Amino acid sequence: MELHLYDSWERRVRRFDSIQPGRVGMYCCGPTVYDYAHIGNLRTYIFEDLLRRTLEFNGYQVQHVVNITDVGHLVSDGDDGEDKMEKGSRRSGKSAWDIAQYYSAAFMADFRALNLLQPAVWCRATEYLPEQIGFIEELERKGYTYRTADGIYFDTSKQDDYGYMARLDRDALQAGVRVAIGEKRSITDFALWKFSPLETRRQMEWDSPWGRGFPGWHIECSAMSAAHLGSLFDIHCGGEDHIAVHHSNEIAQTQACHGTRLANFWMHGYFLQTGGEKMSKSGGEFLRLQTLLDRDIDPLSYRYLCLSAHYRSQLEFSWDGLHGAAIGLQRLRDAYHRWPQGGQADNAWLQRFHSEINNDLNLPRALALMWELVRSDTDPATRRATLRAMDEVLGLDLDNWLPASIDIPEAVAQLAAKRQAVRASRQWQEADRLREQIRALGFLVEDTADGPALKPALEGARHER
Ligand code: AMP
Ligand code: ZN
């Protein structure tokens, strides 16, 4: 079946064909580890995981590379302001290296909790200094750089199509410059290498042909993706905010150095918003996965919430929405575990599912289809096996969810038995009265195809992985 994906370069959905048969190289911009990830950041990684799982569902072997920005990355997209890592260090009193270690570990824990597949490669910027320096040297040889008092810059005026993906109007940008751009020749030029300030010693700095300092942010992704995937690979991903600056700059560098646009497909996840604005670390509500855990919300409920919105539409966060997702997920788990094992997945259902995900990852439609299957009169064992196959993409980890073992108090068990008896003799009103008595004791009775089931009125389930 053909796979169609939206390409931000061409701004349209088009057919995906891999460069090498059966294999896909995919690079995803990872976190800057000076703080915890918020659930907005995590939405982007969930989108990338869904993309990878969809590619695998289509039979591709995916070489998935994610970077960890553990150096530099100034507080603004411009080239000034304080370095985020050093700022984190000052705030906490820990060394910049310890900060990077600590927040990388926290990020990996979030990754696992959301059931995101492990990338083939995690690459840390600090481990690729020779590659980054080599890349800048090559740009220098080709005449794309210039030097200012604070660093080596990329000269964007050398490229007619700089910023094509973002359809940037450079003249308008330049005319509208209202901020001081220092010695930069143009507002769109960006740092490749920044010099350490003379008066202070940075915690993270390296020697280079241009002097002691540290690499700019954009160069790390160009250098590390080339190191692992070559100078032209299949898919490059990130959040929508990367289109205008970070990815435009990665493309500019790679075009200058290797003559390619780096990736055949550029794909971007849209923002999670709060109060109509991008969720960010600096402003608004900063929600971490831990914030959800503190409220007894399973991280996979958040994953489920993300499935309900297309990755190319912004998603407004609300607690009500998240609670709705938690209920949906719980119903799904209950149904799945009620059905017997040992069935065969149904091909007709899977075909329909396949065509939804292959249509630019239409997960909301795929989710709706899955519910259609749950409610259908398909044989329960077949439903379970089909759902399991769909879950390879949805990643809700249905199989590993363990219903909590619950103690049913004797009084509740007796009422339930009595209710069964009155139902058998079709005394419905009496049966309803008993159901209310059971509820008053904190339990719900659900009449399922396999007979009545009791569960605590408050969700009592645990999830183990
Ligand atoms: P950062 O750690 O800030 O470099 O961001 C990590 C990833 O999260 C990048 O791909 C960003 O584009 C993405 N991102 C940042 N804010 C949001 C948001 N509110 N919603 C979705 N993705 C985001
Ligand atoms: Zn990047």
- pLDDT tens, 418-447? 998 999 899 999 999 999 999 888 888 887
Q: What is the dihedral of CA 239, 243, 249, 253, to 10 degrees?
A: 90
Q: Which atom of ligand 1 has the smallest separation from the CA of 279?
A: 19
Query: Which tokens belong to 199?
Result: 């008066």
**Band of residue 464 on the pLDDT scale cut at 50, 70, 90:** very low
444 lies in the same domain as 358: no
139 lies in the same domain as 25: yes
Q: What's the whole-number average pLDDT of the chain?
A: 90
CB atoms within 10 A of CB 158: 16
Closest residue (by CA) to atom 22 of ligand 1? 41
Asked whether the predicted pLDDT for residue 137 surpasses 90, the reply is: yes
**Neighbouring residues of 214: CB distance < 8 A, sequence distance ≥ 6:** 71, 72, 83, 193, 194, 196, 202, 204, 205, 206
The count of structural domains within the chain is 3
Nearby residues for ligand 2 (ion, Cβ within 5 Å): 29, 221
Ligand with the closest atom to the CA of 262:
2
% residues pLDDT > 90 (the chain): 73
Alpha-carbon distances of 325 from 265, 298, 300, 305, 346, rounded to whole Å: 31, 10, 9, 5, 26
262 lies in the same domain as 201: yes
Q: What is the CA radius of gyration of the chain?
A: 26
- Cα angle at 279 between 273 and 281, to 5 degrees? 180
Give me the mean pLDDT over the 65-91 stretch.
Answer: 72
pLDDT tens by residue, 309-356: 999 999 999 999 999 999 999 999 999 999 999 999 999 999 999 999
Q: Is residue 148 part of a domain?
A: yes
pLDDT tens by residue, 207-235: 999 999 999 989 999 999 999 999 999 99
Burial string for 93-111 (b: 16+ CB within 10 Å, else e) reads eeebeebbebbbebbeebb
pLDDT score of 460: 37
pLDDT score of 270: 98
Q: Is residue 446 part of a domain?
A: yes
Distance of CA 96 to the CA centre of its chain: 25
Ligand 2 center to residue 248 CA distance, Å? 10
Closest residue (by CA) to atom 16 of ligand 1? 41
Asked whether the predicted pLDDT for residue 85 surpasses 90, the reply is: no
Range of the domain at 364: 280-400
pLDDT tens by residue, 258-278: 999 999 999 999 999 988 888
Query: Which tokens belong to 413?
Result: 């068990």
- Cα angle at 188 between 185 and 190, to 5 degrees? 80
Q: Is residue 389 part of a domain?
A: yes
Region of residue 276 (left: phi > 0; alpha: psi -120 to 50; beta: else): left
Query: Which tokens belong to 423?
Result: 């139902």
The finding on whether 299 has its CB within 6 A of some atom of ligand 1 is no
343 lies in the same domain as 378: yes
Ligand with the closest atom to the CA of 75:
1
The finding on whether 271 has its CB within 6 A of some atom of ligand 1 is yes
User: Which pTM value belongs to this model?
Assistant: 0.86
Alpha-carbon distances of 277 from 35, 173, 358, rounded to whole Å: 20, 23, 30
Identify the CATH number of the domain in which residue 286 sits.
1.10.730.10
Asked whether the predicted pLDDT for residue 74 surpasses 60, the reply is: no
Coil, strand or helix: which one is 237?
strand
Candidate from 29, 34, 38, 41 with most ligand 1 atoms within 8 A of CB, to mutate? 41
The finding on whether 43 has its CB within 6 A of some atom of ligand 1 is yes
pLDDT score of 265: 98
202 lies in the same domain as 184: yes
249 lies in the same domain as 317: no
